[in-house]
Structure 1
């Protein structure tokens, strides 16, 4: 097994499934996006299996997230602008209606052979989350995803 993968699996982090749209996922995969912004998130580092939404509809990657930074919107917009000039207005719109949010550092991204939504629903009673879900609520899927990463 690849040493980096073993290191990730040994980390005592909460495991989640996180939904991403295809474009942000592609930016993460290419290393162009190094921070994920969310209106709500857990307050600890996380290991996330990534569900890429329509039209892809697959779980196809594993991302290690660092410690989330919870801040007011102005601070988050400043962080975003520091990483990608011109991204602040779109981010401010995304955070409309909330007073704070999260900037979550992306530490690594590993792709693996995808699992289709059809397989996930039929074999594991999986319904894609709007934002994220704790993987511990579906132990069968958790075992299948960990096994998939090791092959």
Structure 2
């Protein structure tokens, strides 16, 4: 079974990823996920909607104190915000993404819950690829 990821992310970061300005998402902890996995971007509060998808190019396990020097230009936040986020974490995972695909219409939380029976995750959750297809179809019906 092919799986996708539903990733909760702050609205400004979700938009930066979909606009191609942010190509790496930093996570304190994250499982091994195969390259090529489809990542569905759920924009958290106050937006509360799926905005589109990207493809996971690769995950990079890295010492937290090396993130800024090696990938600072691609993560879309300043160094002090990164330091605050990674404080107390020895290792982190970088999700390098490409192929951004902004959906024409965001899929709001109500549709996600009511039509798909899905709750947005705190961080991430796995989806079946069929659920991604259903979500995309529903988004095209949102007016």
Structure 1 gaps, min length 5: 1-11
Which structure has greater helix proportion? 1
Which structure has greater strand proportion? 2
Please report the TM-score for the alignment, with normalisation by the length of structure 2. Answer: 0.81
Kindly report which structure 2 residues correspond to 1:1-151, keeping only aligned pairs within 5 A, or say none. 14-43=3-32, 44-45=34-35, 46-83=37-74, 87-112=78-103, 113-136=105-128, 141-145=131-135, 147=137
Q: Which runs of 4+ in 1 moved over 2 A?
A: 79-89, 139-143, 145-151
How far off its partner does 1:150 sit?
Answer: 9.5
Alignment check: 8 A CA contact 1:13 1:47 kept: no
Please report the TM-score for the alignment, with normalisation by the length of structure 1. Answer: 0.77
Q: Secondary structure at the match of 2:80?
A: helix
Aligned residues: 138
Alignment check: 8 A CA contact 2:55 2:99 kept: yes
Q: 1:149 to 1:114 in 2, by over 3 A?
A: closer
Structure 2 gaps, min length 5: none
Q: Which has the higher contact order (CA 8 A, sep 6+)?
A: 2
